[in-house]
Chains A and B, each alone.
Chain A
């Protein structure tokens, strides 16, 4: 009998090894495809595409989109939907500019009020979905329509251009929302130093720990070393180019990342999304988690709206509504970027970035900008299809 057990264990062990390595390959494949795509586009378009300043400018312009992507990740983590984030971002963009310009609020209060509207909107969605058990799809399409409609009512259906502009620290030249306000070089170098320290710590720890799959360990270490080398290579170029908005979205992402990976609350979100009944029996307050996910999603949507107003200094009709699709594309891409099946923050940021860059490359390459939505939709469907294909393999 002991022989049987030994055989079983040996088989199981090597199965895990195979799974470990193939998991790693599967989680990297989409990333590699994107890198190849990026390289092809760079070769095709040359200098007109491969400009650090222009690509960081794309990033700057799409900071609200990335924040909406993080909102989508949050609500998807509990296996719910929130289609009202586009409407909410539009409404809060109007409110943050309009309450200051038209209603005489101090700017800080206009921002706080906009964020509060996001929280309340999230609570309303939670009330409908969690308490009244309305399908999230239907409920948030409805509330999204209400939020969007409210923004049109508030803005009289026209573009909101503040007569005397928004405060200088918020929007306009040299403000938070401007591309010309950069992260100081000192900060950039400190960040690089921290990244390198982290990379060295990771390599040392990984090499010291016993590994079930030595080959996988070597690949991981190699990836981190290459990543560090790339960072050192590009840092002198991007120092002085990174605007405050980009630093802001990275800060938001770090907070969200810590929440998802390092807090009890974040673990409970994934557990709730994975199997609510099991999570409840394991002691997770599932309704509370879902409610909080809706609230955080609403809050992030309102943050996106405020950043949008800061970015542009004025607010166009339905301005954030077209971001709904790419935001969900970015969120779903996170399940296949450096992951097999799990929504995660950095995958979402990276995914959003790739969507934006590919779209931009096509425009530079001469594809009319009217094709943008086709690209967004295509990427969304491809991302979901890829995540299905990549994650369904080891399930019976």
Chain B
């Protein structure tokens, strides 16, 4: 993959030497050395707990390293916070919804003044247009940021960094909340920036993303670098090695065949909702049906319709089961209640089952919660912590638990693995399999193709308002999915 016309990637931009960091008795980083050179696009991967977040927080100045040195272009620095040449894009993009595009771009920049306290709006708009052009984002400057898609917001965040002079970008799992198309566009834009001389450190859980853009993959395990190589997309052995490090256990359950017993628990018959319709879909007892589509296709509207939260404009929704529960698509805004405890979040949907003579039996509730926390391997296993204190993957496990304890015989699970690491992903897949084996009907609504291949018996694709398929999984392959999408 070496091309002769590319500039020689020899100038180190960032050098980390022997970084160590412990919290109390626990060593999180145990001597980390890394050099990133001018123009490189480096993928940083590793399971939850490997030390990725700690590393990023040290670079961003949130934590200080116990030992070791951070150098930027050969100069020792404590962190990158004060360097305008370095920019961070976190999962929370820091775009203020209530401000317009141009106002968001000017946030944190010294004001361009005309006279006294009055701003030179013309100059601001000129600078903003230039910043947007660099990320190939064509949106009106006066549009409120809330009108932007997630992908456009991510690009806006990058544009803002570029206009402060950032040349080294740290992308901290910012793609995990983006729908696949937006993520592809975002990554392509970053790739273009590197050919203009920017340097990118790209943190992601998704091998497919890293494969699509990175020149080099760095894998962090147990606080040290376990693997650091130029990426060769044609080298299957290399991919297998990265996957081997990443994957907790091969998921054999994915190949277990289940026989649905032909009794439909849930059905949509020529249903219209929002911009979507007509939708025909049914889910049988013990069956996992996947539904996918581009974000913006109304995928989540179908989920809300299935859950009975939205009503069909026309057509019929029939549900023959006892009870249904939904794991909502947007974990942070629709699932997690951050300030109340793990326990209270877990039991929220099924509270009446712990009620005796009007009062909750806290002891029986606690017993059942401890059982679930254990079964789902929630870390840390303390039901009294506020849910917001847990990592995203563990929050997702608790939200699975919330749906499970209802004893529902129909589950709508949206974006089950968004922003969770590979080990957690497999744990969640295992849970879905066990539920289906126990006779629960499950609708998995997801924009992540891996979910479809891992757990679904049949897969439908929402395309131009109606459901294509569903096809049995055996007839699916990545290429055919790509064609449909």
Q: Does A associate with B in a complex? A: yes
Enumerate chain A interface residues (CB-CB to B < 8 A): 1, 3-5, 7-16, 18-20, 212, 258, 261-264, 267-268, 270-271, 274-275, 277-284, 341-342, 394-395
Could you write out 10 A-B pairs with CB less than 8 Å apart? A4-B49, A4-B222, A5-B423, A12-B379, A15-B380, A271-B348, A278-B337, A280-B309, A281-B309, A282-B349
Given contacts A12-B49, A12-B380, A13-B380, contact A282 B348 (CB under 8 A): yes
Question: Is B326's beta carbon under 8 Å from chain A?
Answer: yes
Are A271 and B344 closer than 8 Å at their CB atoms? yes
Known: A11-B23, A283-B348. 11 other contacts (CB 8 A): A8-B48, A8-B379, A13-B381, A16-B380, A19-B380, A20-B384, A261-B360, A264-B360, A280-B309, A283-B325, A283-B349
Question: Is B77's beta carbon under 8 Å from chain A?
Answer: no
Q: How far is the CB of A205 from chain B (nearest CB, A)?
A: 9
Question: Is B118's beta carbon under 8 Å from chain A?
Answer: no
Are B248 and A274 closer than 8 Å at their CB atoms? no
Are A14 and B307 closer than 8 Å at their CB atoms? no
Q: Bound complex: CA of A8 vs CA of B386, how far in Å?
A: 20
Q: Bound complex: CA of A118 vs CA of B222, how far in Å?
A: 61
Question: Is B439's beta carbon under 8 Å from chain A?
Answer: no
B residues 325-345 touching A (CB-CB < 8 Å): 325-326, 328, 333-340, 344
Question: Is B83's beta carbon under 8 Å from chain A?
Answer: no
Are A270 and B340 closer than 8 Å at their CB atoms? yes
Are B359 and A278 closer than 8 Å at their CB atoms? no
Are B339 and A278 closer than 8 Å at their CB atoms? no
Question: Is B298's beta carbon under 8 Å from chain A?
Answer: no
Contacts of A283 in B (CB 8 A): 325, 348-349, 406
- Contact indicator per residue, chain B 385-409, by CB within 8 Å of chain A (1) or not (0): 1101100000000000010001000
B residues 211-256 touching A (CB-CB < 8 Å): 221-222, 248-249
Q: How far is the CB of B77 from chain A (nearest CB, A)?
A: 23
Given contacts A8-B48, A14-B25, A341-B339, contact A284 B348 (CB under 8 A): yes
Q: How far is the CB of B404 from chain A (nearest CB, A)?
A: 13
Are B358 and A274 closer than 8 Å at their CB atoms? no
Are B339 and A274 closer than 8 Å at their CB atoms? yes
Contacts of B379 in A (CB 8 A): 8-9, 12
Contacts of A342 in B (CB 8 A): 339-340
Residue of B nearest to A276 (CB): B337
Contacts of B402 in A (CB 8 A): 282
Q: Bound complex: CA of A206 vs CA of B423, how far in Å?
A: 35
Question: Is B352's beta carbon under 8 Å from chain A?
Answer: yes
- Contact indicator per residue, chain B 39-64, by CB within 8 Å of chain A (1) or not (0): 00000000111100000000000000
Q: How far is the CB of B408 from chain A (nearest CB, A)?
A: 10
One of B49, B328, B336, B385 near A8 (C-beta < 8 A): B49
Are B382 and A279 closer than 8 Å at their CB atoms? no
Those 9 A-B pairs whose CB atoms lie nearest each other, nearest first: A8-B49, A16-B380, A274-B337, A12-B380, A12-B379, A16-B382, A11-B26, A275-B337, A262-B359
Question: Is B122's beta carbon under 8 Å from chain A?
Answer: no
Are B389 and A277 closer than 8 Å at their CB atoms? no
Contacts of B26 in A (CB 8 A): 10-11, 14-15
Q: Bound complex: CA of A10 vs CA of B49, how far in Å?
A: 11
Contacts of A270 in B (CB 8 A): 340, 344
Interface residues of B, CB < 8 Å — how many? Answer: 49
One of B328, B347, B423 near A281 (C-beta < 8 A): B328
Question: Is B362's beta carbon under 8 Å from chain A?
Answer: yes
Are B351 and A264 closer than 8 Å at their CB atoms? yes
Are B47 and A281 closer than 8 Å at their CB atoms? no
One of B337, B349, B385 near A16 (C-beta < 8 A): B385
Are B355 and A264 closer than 8 Å at their CB atoms? yes
Are A264 and B352 closer than 8 Å at their CB atoms? yes
Are B381 and A16 closer than 8 Å at their CB atoms? yes
Are A14 and B24 closer than 8 Å at their CB atoms? yes
Given contacts A262-B360, A281-B309, contact A395 B388 (CB under 8 A): yes
Q: Bound complex: CA of A13 vs CA of B381, how far in Å?
A: 7
Contacts of A263 in B (CB 8 A): 355, 358-360
B residues 389-437 touching A (CB-CB < 8 Å): 389, 402, 406, 423
Are B340 and A281 closer than 8 Å at their CB atoms? no
Q: Bound complex: CA of A264 vs CA of B362, how far in Å?
A: 11
Question: Is B442's beta carbon under 8 Å from chain A?
Answer: no
Q: Bound complex: CA of A264 vs CA of B248, how far in Å?
A: 39
Q: Bound complex: CA of A106 vs CA of B447, how far in Å?
A: 68
Are B380 and A278 closer than 8 Å at their CB atoms? no
Residue of A nearest to B304 (CB): A281
Question: Is B132's beta carbon under 8 Å from chain A?
Answer: no
Contacts of A12 in B (CB 8 A): 49, 379-380
Question: Is B28's beta carbon under 8 Å from chain A?
Answer: yes
- Contact indicator per residue, chain B 255-277, by CB within 8 Å of chain A (1) or not (0): 00000000000000000000000
Given contacts A11-B49, A14-B25, A284-B348, contact A278 B328 (CB under 8 A): yes
Residue of A nearest to B406 (CB): A283
Contacts of B328 in A (CB 8 A): 278, 281
Q: Bound complex: CA of A274 vs CA of B333, how far in Å?
A: 11
Q: Bound complex: CA of A190 vs CA of B237, how far in Å?
A: 77
Which of B339, B379, B381 counts the most A-chain CB atoms under 10 A from its CB? B339
Contacts of B351 in A (CB 8 A): 264, 267-268
Are A19 and B389 closer than 8 Å at their CB atoms? yes
Contacts of B389 in A (CB 8 A): 19, 394-395
Q: Bound complex: CA of A218 vs CA of B349, how far in Å?
A: 34
Are B49 and A278 closer than 8 Å at their CB atoms? no
One of B352, B359, B388 near A258 (C-beta < 8 A): B359
Residue of A nearest to B330 (CB): A277
Residue of B nearest to A280 (CB): B309
Are A3 and B358 closer than 8 Å at their CB atoms? no
Are A267 and B360 closer than 8 Å at their CB atoms? yes
Residue of A nearest to B366 (CB): A209
Contacts of A3 in B (CB 8 A): 222
Q: How far is the CB of B35 from chain A (nearest CB, A)?
A: 25
Q: How far is the CB of A274 from chain B (nearest CB, A)?
A: 4
Given contacts A4-B47, A12-B379, A258-B359, contact A18 B334 (CB under 8 A): no
- Contact indicator per residue, chain B 277-309, by CB within 8 Å of chain A (1) or not (0): 000000000000000000000000000000101
One of A15, A261, A394 near B23 (C-beta < 8 A): A15
Residue of B nearest to A16 (CB): B380
Residue of A nearest to B377 (CB): A9
Contacts of B380 in A (CB 8 A): 12-13, 15-16, 19
Residue of A nearest to B363 (CB): A205
Are A267 and B49 closer than 8 Å at their CB atoms? no
Q: Bound complex: CA of A202 vs CA of B50, how far in Å?
A: 40
Contacts of A275 in B (CB 8 A): 333, 336-338
Which of B222, B336, B379, B388 counts the most A-chain CB atoms under 10 A from its CB? B379
Contacts of A261 in B (CB 8 A): 360, 362
